[in-house]
């Protein structure tokens, strides 16, 4: 991929401490190997929000796949479908949600960024539901953020790549702040969603609702109280609050608070099958991957995405065999070496 796209894909916020810690924390964890376990009939199937999945890895929502491949999200969906993996399509997808749905044969979820224009937001949710998306993922962790490395690289969307699903929206009003006033509090945060929007979203959408970007047990409990159907523990791949802990560090605390009332998913730094095992051992039902499949997409389009999934799935099966886990249910906290 070109330098411009690389600046967008690879960066995290500010000093990228959280971006790095996602990997470092996973690398610090050790797995407890087990031997001579009966593995006949071993498999990786799971049920999530009423649908069956063959293995616990989904593609995380990411904006602008056409930065990486001319067919953008359609190419990604073809790769995911070939490997029967779930894919979460971003609000900032560079291909219309309906077109992605027409071409995909695997399950799609829709990731929502609530827009300041709530009527437009509602129509977007309805478009996704009408197109057959299976769940709504509300991302809550980046009302504002600043990626300095991307800024320094002078990243710009190339001509022809845009958030096409947001076309037709009333543009946000220009920031109202006078030069001596706060641009953040009086401009960028205008129209950002709050807890009040959760009940509203549930009232306008027939789809199961998940919150993505929860890192605090208190927020997780509030989300359960608000009636969400699932939580994605995530720091946005280090692109939201810098100096936040690794997602894998927040996961067990949130799992303890939520106590199985809704399924937990997790993302941030998942690169190997052993990482998937670690996340499941600490309370996740499934994981999402972001940058790995974006790299696959850039290298080889649908085949690249499928290949990344294939590698990860195979590694997961090997890690399960070597930790004596014949099914996902066998992946308990005892798998983590202490
Ligand atoms: C280039 C890029 C674009 C992203 N765009 C979105 C987005 O539009 N919506 C969203 O909820 N998360 C977005 N994310 C966050 C991912 O969904 C996910 O949380 C993160 O990439 C997981 O970490 P990983 O890349 O280490 O696997 C984006 C991440 C990257 C790297």
In angstroms, what is the span from residue 250 Cα to ligand 1's centroid? 18
What is the Cα–Cα distance from 173 to 336, expressed in whole angstroms? Answer: 50
In angstroms, what is the span from residue 310 Cα to ligand 1's centroid? 20
Residue 214 main-chain phi, psi, to 5 deg: -85, 130
Torsion, CA 323, CA 324, CA 329, CA 335, rounded to 10: -30
- Going by pLDDT thresholds of 50, 70 and 90, the confidence category of residue 252 is very high
The model's pTM is: 0.98
Percent of the chain with pLDDT over 90: 91
Q: Which residue owns the Cα nearest ligand 1 atom 20?
A: 237
Give the residue extent of every domain in the chain: 3-335
In angstroms, what is the span from residue 180 Cα to ligand 1's centroid? 33
Q: How far is CA 57 from CA 34, 54, 119, 191, 282, in A?
A: 23, 9, 33, 33, 15
Question: What average pLDDT does the segment 217-236 reach?
Answer: 98
Q: How is domain 3-335 classified at the architecture level of CATH?
A: Alpha-Beta Barrel (3.20)
Contact assessment for residue 9 and residue 289, using Cβ atoms and an 8 Å cutoff:
no
Instruction: Note the pLDDT of residue 50.
Output: 96
Instruction: Note the pLDDT of residue 187.
Output: 72
Torsion, CA 19, CA 155, CA 306, CA 75, rounded to 10: 150
The two tokens of residue 135 are 């769940």
In angstroms, what is the span from residue 296 Cα to ligand 1's centroid? 15
Q: Which residue owns the Cα nearest ligand 1 atom 13?
A: 62
- Going by pLDDT thresholds of 50, 70 and 90, the confidence category of residue 182 is confident
Q: Which residue owns the Cα nearest ligand 1 atom 27?
A: 290
CA-267 nearest atom, ligand 1: 22
Average pLDDT, the chain: 96
Instruction: Note the pLDDT of residue 270.
Output: 99
Q: Which residue owns the Cα nearest ligand 1 atom 28?
A: 62
Question: CB 15: neighbour CB atoms within 10 A?
Answer: 12
Collect all residues with Cβ–Cβ distance below 8 Å to 46 and sequence separation of at least 6.
Answer: 52, 53, 55, 56, 285, 286, 328
Contact assessment for residue 266 and residue 279, using Cβ atoms and an 8 Å cutoff:
yes
For residue 80, pLDDT over 90 is answered with yes
| Catalytic residue list | 236
For residues 47-80, b (16+ Cβ closer than 10 Å) or e, as one string? ebbeeebebbbbbbbbbbbbbbbebbbbbbbbbb
What is the Cα–Cα distance from 41 to 330, expressed in whole angstroms? Answer: 13
Contact assessment for residue 277 and residue 331, using Cβ atoms and an 8 Å cutoff:
yes
For residue 56, pLDDT over 80 is answered with yes
Instruction: Note the pLDDT of residue 126.
Output: 98
In angstroms, what is the span from residue 45 Cα to ligand 1's centroid? 25
Mutate to test the pocket of ligand 1, among 143, 239, 293, 298 (most ligand atoms within 8 A of CB): 239
In angstroms, what is the span from residue 17 Cα to ligand 1's centroid? 16
What is the Cα–Cα distance from 225 to 199, expressed in whole angstroms? Answer: 11
Nearest to 224 by CA among 253, 260, 268, 265: 260
Question: What average pLDDT does the segment 52-80 reach?
Answer: 98
Mutate to test the pocket of ligand 1, among 25, 62, 295, 312 (most ligand atoms within 8 A of CB): 62
The two tokens of residue 266 are 């997790």
Count how many residues are written for the chain.
Answer: 338
Q: Which residue owns the Cα nearest ligand 1 atom 21?
A: 290
What is the Cα–Cα distance from 25 to 37, expressed in whole angstroms? Answer: 28
Percent of the chain that is helix, strand, coil (3-state, to 5): 45, 10, 45
Instruction: Note the pLDDT of residue 309.
Output: 98
For residue 172, pLDDT over 90 is answered with no
- Going by pLDDT thresholds of 50, 70 and 90, the confidence category of residue 70 is very high
Please give all residues whose beta carbon lies within 6 A of any atom in ligand 1, as ranges: 8-9, 22, 60-63, 90, 92, 111, 139, 212, 234, 236-237, 239, 267-270, 289-291
């Amino acid at each position: 991929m070109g330098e411009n796209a690389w600046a967008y894909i690879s960066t995290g916020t500010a000093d990228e401490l959280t971006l790095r810690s996602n990997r470092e924390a996973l690398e610090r964890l050790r797995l407890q190997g087990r031997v001579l376990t009966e593995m006949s009939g071993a498999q990786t199937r799971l049920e999530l929000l009423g649908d069956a999945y063959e293995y616990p890895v989904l593609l995380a929502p990411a904006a602008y796949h056409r930065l990486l491949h001319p067919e953008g999200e359609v190419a990604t969906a073809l790769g995911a479908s070939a490997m029967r993996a779930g894919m979460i399509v971003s609000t900032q997808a560079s291909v219309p949600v309906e077109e992605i749905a027409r071409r995909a044969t695997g399950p799609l979820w829709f990731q929502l960024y609530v827009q300041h224009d709530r009527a437009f937001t509602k129509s977007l949710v309805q478009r996704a539901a009408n197109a057959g998306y299976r769940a709504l993922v509300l991302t809550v962790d980046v009302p504002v953020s600043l990626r300095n490395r991307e800024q320094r690289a002078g990243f710009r969307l190339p001509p022809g790549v845009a958030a096409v699903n947001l076309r037709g929206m009333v543009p946000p009003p220009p920031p109202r702040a006078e030069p001596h006033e706060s641009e953040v509090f009086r401009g960028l945060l205008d129209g950002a969603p709050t807890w009040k929007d959760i009940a509203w979203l549930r009232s306008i959408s027939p789809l199961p609702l998940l919150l993505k970007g929860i890192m605090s047990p208190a927020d997780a409990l509030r989300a359960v109280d608000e009636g969400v159907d699932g939580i994605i523990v995530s720091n946005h791949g280090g692109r939201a609050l810098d100096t936040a802990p690794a997602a894998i560090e927040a996961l067990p605390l949130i799992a303890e608070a939520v106590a199985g009332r809704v399924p937990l998913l997790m993302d941030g730094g998942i690169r190997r099958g052993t990482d998937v095992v670690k996340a499941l051992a600490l309370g996740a039902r499934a994981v999402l991957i972001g940058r790995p499949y974006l790299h696959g997409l850039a290298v080889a389009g649908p085949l690249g995405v499928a290949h990344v999934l294939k590698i990860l799935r195979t590694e997961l099966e090997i890690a399960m065999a070597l930790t004596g886990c014949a099914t996902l249910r066998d992946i308990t906290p005892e798998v983590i070496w202490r």
